[in-house]
Amino acid sequence: MDYLPNSKRYDGMIYNRVGNSGLKLPAISLGLWHNFGGKDSYENGRAMVRRAFDLGITHFDLANNYGPPPGSAEETFGKILKQDFLGYRDEMIISTKAGYYMWPGPYGDYGSKKYLVASLDQSLKRMGLDYVDIFYHHRPDPNTPLDETMAALDLIVRQGKALYVGISNYNAEETKRAIAILKEQKTPFVIHQAEYSMLDRWVEAELLPVLSEEGAGCIAFTPLAQGLLTNKYLAGFPLDSRAAKENTFLNKNDVTPEVLSKVTQLDRLATERGQSLAQMSLSWVLRDKVVTSALIGASKVSQIEENIAALEKLQFSTDELERINDILEIE
C-alpha cells in the first residue's frame, strides 16, 4: 500500500450530527452512483476516493445496483479499500442500499426480508466488509408490508451487518410510518436519503418537517440536479455530458430554454458571491440544519476539489435567498 492519507485531512471539513444520533457525517459526501462501474477507469475512481479522503470526506455512498454492470461499483470500492485503506476502515462511513432489481426471479427486487438480507450479504462480500455503517432501503415497495421491510432493517442491525439504517425515496407519510415501526422495534431510524436541489424542493414542505420532528437527518442526493446546477450546460449541450449518455435520469429534454435561463441567472448570483454555480448550489442545500450532508458525484478529482470549496461560504443573506426564490419563481 503506497497511499498515505493527508495528515491534515480533518482540518478543513465540517462534520454534522445526523439528527439526534451520535453519528456525524461530513458536510460533503461522495457517491459512487456513476464513474465507478466495471466499464469505468479503475485508476480514476481510485484517485477520486483517495483525494476525497485527503480532503476530509469520510462518507462513501453506494448501492447494490451501482455500476454498470450492477454490483461493479461495490466491487471497485472493495478493491480500493483493500489496496489503499486497510488501516483506515474505522475512519470511514460506508453505506449501501437495496431496493432495485438485482437478479432474476421473485427474490431479487423491492423490499422483502428475503431480498434485503440476501442483497446486503452480497454487498458485504463484494466490498470485503464485515458490516456497513448505514444500510438503506432504496425505494418503497408497494406490495410488501412496510412492517416486513422495517423488520428486515431491524434484523440486519441485530445481526451486526449494519450499524445504522435509513430509507431513500420515501414520501413524507411513508417516512412517518417507517419511523414509527422502527421505534417499536427499538432500532432507531436515523437518516433519509432524498433528492433535493434548488430545482427540486419537494422536501422543504413535506419531508424535512417530519425528519426534524422525529430527530432524524437528511442527506441530499443530486444536489446539483444531475449537472444542471453547474456551468456544464450554460454554453450548450456537450456530447460527453451525463445528459448525453444513455441510461441516466437526465436527458436532453430536461435542458429547456426556460431551465437554462434560470440556471444562467443563478450562475450570475454565484459569481457575485465569489462561488461557482456548483459551489453555491451545495451551500444552499446545506443551509437547513436538518440536511446533514450533500451527496456529490464526480467524474474527476478536480470536481471534488471544486465542490469541497463550497464549505468556505455557507452563509446566505436574506436578499440572496429572496433572489434565488425570485429566479426560481418560488413564492
Bridge partners for 194 per DSSP: 220
Q: What interhelical angle do 318-327 and 257-273 show, nearest 10?
A: 170
Which residues have C-beta within 8 Å of that of residue 10, sequence separation ≥ 6? Answer: 56
Q: What is the tally of structural domains in the chain?
A: 1
**Quick check: is 201 in a domain?**
yes
96-125 tens-digit pLDDT? 999 999 999 999 999 999 999 999 999 999
Residue 146's pLDDT is 98
Host H or E run for residue 264: helix 257-273
Q: Cis bond leading into 68, ω under 30°?
A: yes
**Quick check: is 167 in a domain?**
yes
Encode burial over 189-210: b for 16+ CB neighbours within 10 A, e otherwise: bbbbbbbbbbbebebeeebbeb
Q: What is the mean pLDDT of residues 72-96?
A: 97
176-202 tens-digit pLDDT? 999 999 999 999 899 999 999 999 999
Q: Is the pLDDT of residue 239 over 80?
A: no
- Total Cβ atoms within 10 A of residue 15: 15
* H helices present in 55-170, as ranges: 72-84, 113-127, 146-158
Q: What is the mean pLDDT of residues 81-93?
A: 97
**Quick check: is 259 in a domain?**
no
**Quick check: is 292 in a domain?**
yes
CA 161 – CA 226 distance, rounded (Å):
31
- Total Cβ atoms within 10 A of residue 238: 12
Q: What is the mean pLDDT of residues 50-75?
A: 98
Residue 237's pLDDT is 61
Mean pLDDT, rounded, of the chain: 95
Q: Is the pLDDT of residue 249 over 80?
A: no
CA dihedral (181, 193, 78, 153) in degrees, to 10, reads: 0
CA 165 – CA 192 distance, rounded (Å):
9
Reported as a pLDDT band with limits 50, 70 and 90, residue 233 is confident
Q: What is the mean pLDDT of residues 82-109?
A: 97
Which residues have C-beta within 8 Å of that of residue 11, sequence separation ≥ 6? Answer: 56
Host H or E run for residue 295: strand 291-296
Amino acid at 82: K
Encode burial over 242-272: b for 16+ CB neighbours within 10 A, e otherwise: bbeeeeeebeeeebeeeeeebbeebbeebee
Which residues have C-beta within 8 Å of that of residue 167, sequence separation ≥ 6? Answer: 136, 137, 174, 175, 178, 189, 192, 193
**Quick check: is 138 in a domain?**
yes
Q: What CATH number should be reported for the domain holding residue 64?
A: 3.20.20.100
How far are the Cα atoms of 45, 57, 139, 194 from residue 171, in angstroms, in the given order? Answer: 32, 28, 10, 9
**Quick check: is 206 in a domain?**
yes
Residue 254's pLDDT is 75
Q: Three cell numbers at 237?
A: 449541450
**Quick check: is 8 in a domain?**
no
Range of the domain at 221: 15-231+277-315
Listed range (7-21, 34-48, 226-240, 243-257) with the worst mean pLDDT: 243-257
**Quick check: is 119 in a domain?**
yes
Of 234, 195, 189, 241, nearest in space to 210 by CA: 189
